[in-house]
Structure 1
Amino acid sequence: MAVALLGCISTAQAQITLTAPVDTISPWRTKLKASLNISEALLSNNWKGGGVSFVGLNGLFNTQANYRSGRNSWDNQADLLFAFAQNKGQGYRKNLDRLFLDTKYGYSISSDWDLFASLNLLTQFAPGYEYSKDSTGTERARFVSSWFAPAFITSSYGFEYHPATFFKLRLSPFSPRITVVNDPQRFLATVSDSPYGVRPPRQVRYEILALQVLSEFDKQIMENVTLKGRYLLFANYEKLNWRKIDHRLELAITAKVNKYINVAITGISLYDYDQDTKIQASQTLSLGFLYTFQNYTEQK
């Protein structure tokens, strides 16, 4: 008698937000958030409903340490995201991959405006592939990205508008950027003859005359619903063309079902002419556990 092992699907997410105890003397505001989402499906070989067995992992780590004393401020942030799935018959496949580090010094010129200088890094952790099928139906993987391939290092100087604790807007008319592609020769056959704007044998591209706009929003927009977003614009003055302006938008909406359960949907939209002439997009949906705490109150 055949024994069928049918559906076993489980999803679990743990999300923790930790902050330092409230201290009215300390000029530091610190916060840490970590989340982990694990999903799995196990189907027997004779399962007639269709589908494949898989296991997936989605992890997020965000920490902030912000200092303010008098007119001086120093804000630091690390934002890490990684997700992958292991599908039966297809193997390991990466879904999401982000490493964002940012540090900024500000000098207050009014209650809502600062002069600032900042440095940030945007790259990824693991190799990335594009999957397609050839004329025979055989699936093939194209190697298109990796650690520091590409990596964007940007220094910015300008003005920051911060009317509330949940919103910041940086306007940087002078933002030199370095694009790094580790061993660009590897991508000539799969990306282009100038991978991510870097022409081999060079591994670095310099864009000195450029501007950057960076906006961040993190607020409870209605009862038990929080919206967090980051928008990044980069434009090279030397090639100022609306088609060649880079845009990156990241959004995350989290809704608390009850004290411990939440539903979250996240999305990333990216347009970079040096990568693709079309908009790139990704989206994830998760259900799991949530705990939050912070040592300051948002301004209304």
Structure 2
Amino acid sequence: MKKSIVLVTLVIWSTFAMAQKPTKLDSIKIIPLDTVYWKRSAQFGINLNQGSFSSNWKGGGVNSVALGAFFNAKSDYMQRRFNWTSEVQLQYGIVKNEGQNSRKNVDRIFLDTKVGNRLSPVWLAFGNINFLSQFAPGYRYETLPSGGERSVLISSLFSPAFLTESIGLEYKPVTYFNLQFGLGTIRQTFVLDDDITIGEPTRYGVPPGKNVRNEFAFQLIANFDKNVAENLNLKARYQLFANYATLDAIDHRLDLALTAKVNKYINVNLTGIFLYDQDQDDAIQYSQGLAIGFLYSF
């Protein structure tokens, strides 16, 4: 119940930030201390990929269809020395190959809200709350000696989930780039589904017999979000997480998204995630996706 209240509070906080009335924003690189503005944006999209082959197609292949949806929203408020930024990213998609049950190919819940007080035109002291999880169960598929297949549950909603609270200093020289130095960062890792067995005995770093793990750490985050060419946007987020108790096992995560806008409602997305976390795997994990679909911005 306590965990649910924290999550609901975070969602309400982020949603409230995006519901305020905006004022005009001048195009600037370094923000004067007397500037007052709201900058808001939101996007909703649906992606559909499909492929089919005749029974005598010599090139090989399998009939498939994939459907995905996403919602992104962001607000940035500045009044003199006070800055408040909130962001929501929700993504979910499934793929259906002929002869197999449907499987998800993307699943993400990302909520982030940050308040800061400007110490100079480019430096802020900040406090930040971040939540990361997924909507649906995830499975690892294994081939049996008989040729059949079995699915092993390796993740689900709140298993894992990461709630991070951080305070520190932020360097923000321009509106599209910033560096956050989380000198005092606390992260809770949740694994609420007792059927999750991946990584035993720790299960994403959570000790046996427990559902949550607390870590005190240093965190570095770099954000970049800019139109690098006409109708072409690049968004990148790099996160370094160093537990003060285990500095020999530093976590790294890089999220990349390149979006090309074909016209008002059609876009092409290329996304990638690179993750290194010894609590999950000793090797680098990565995922990549390419999709074309409908996009509505407001």
How many pairs are equivalent?
270
Q: Which moved more, 1:261-270 or 1:72-81?
A: 261-270
Q: Secondary structure at the match of 2:204?
A: helix
Which one has the largest radius of gyration?
1
> What is residue 279 of structure 1 aligned with on the other side?
284
Is the CA contact (8 Å cut-off) linking 2:226 and 2:234 kept in structure 1? yes
Is the CA contact (8 Å cut-off) linking 2:46 and 2:294 kept in structure 1? no
> What is residue 268 of structure 1 aligned with on the other side?
273
Is the CA contact (8 Å cut-off) linking 1:144 and 1:191 kept in structure 2? no
Shift of 1:222: 2.8
* Superimposed CA distance per residue, residues 55-98 of structure 1 (whole angstroms, 9 cap, x where no aligned partner): 21122211112221111111111111212102221111111111
1:130 aligns with 2:137: no
Residue 220 of structure 1, aligned match among 221, 224, 227: 227
> What is residue 165 of structure 1 aligned with on the other side?
175
Shift of 1:256: 3.8
Q: Secondary structure at the match of 2:166?
A: strand
1:85 aligns with 2:95: yes
TM-score calculated relative to the size of structure 2: 0.83
Alignment of 1:130-149 (within 5 A): 130-149=140-159
Whole-angstrom distance in 1 between the partners of 2:119 and 2:211: 40
Is the CA contact (8 Å cut-off) linking 1:80 and 1:100 kept in structure 2? yes
Alignment of 1:132-281 (within 5 A): 132-183=142-193, 185-188=194-197, 190-208=198-216, 210-241=217-248, 244-257=249-262, 261-281=266-286
Shift of 1:258: 5.3
- Change in 2 beyond 3 A, CA 1:71/1:21: closer
Residue 74 of structure 2, aligned match among 44, 52, 64: 64
TM-score calculated relative to the size of structure 1: 0.83
Shift of 1:290: 5.0
* Superimposed CA distance per residue, residues 136-182 of structure 1 (whole angstroms, 9 cap, x where no aligned partner): 32222111000000011110010111111111111111101111101
Which letter maps to 1:109? L
Task: List gaps (5 residues or longer) in structure 1.
Answer: 1-17, 294-300
> What is residue 112 of structure 2 aligned with on the other side?
102
Moved over 6 A (4+): 18-22
- Change in 2 beyond 3 A, CA 1:162/1:274: same
- Change in 2 beyond 3 A, CA 1:125/1:111: same
Is the CA contact (8 Å cut-off) linking 1:19 and 1:31 kept in structure 2? no
Q: Secondary structure at the match of 1:143?
A: strand
Q: Secondary structure at the match of 2:192?
A: coil
> What is residue 126 of structure 2 aligned with on the other side?
116
> What is residue 297 of structure 1 aligned with on the other side?
none
Which letter maps to 1:272? D
The percentage of aligned residue pairs carrying the same residue is: 45
Is the CA contact (8 Å cut-off) linking 2:127 and 2:167 kept in structure 1? yes
- Change in 2 beyond 3 A, CA 1:103/1:174: same
Whole-angstrom distance in 2 between the partners of 1:262 and 1:92: 25
Which letter maps to 2:182? S
Q: Which moved more, 1:49-58 or 1:111-120?
A: 49-58
* Superimposed CA distance per residue, residues 211-261 of structure 1 (whole angstroms, 9 cap, x where no aligned partner): 1111111112234332111111111010110xx211111111123445654
Q: Which moved more, 1:56-65 or 1:222-231?
A: 222-231
- Change in 2 beyond 3 A, CA 1:174/1:147: same
Whole-angstrom distance in 2 between the partners of 1:217 and 1:147: 28
Shift of 1:267: 0.6
Task: List gaps (5 residues or longer) in structure 2.
Answer: 1-17, 26-35
Which letter maps to 2:124? D
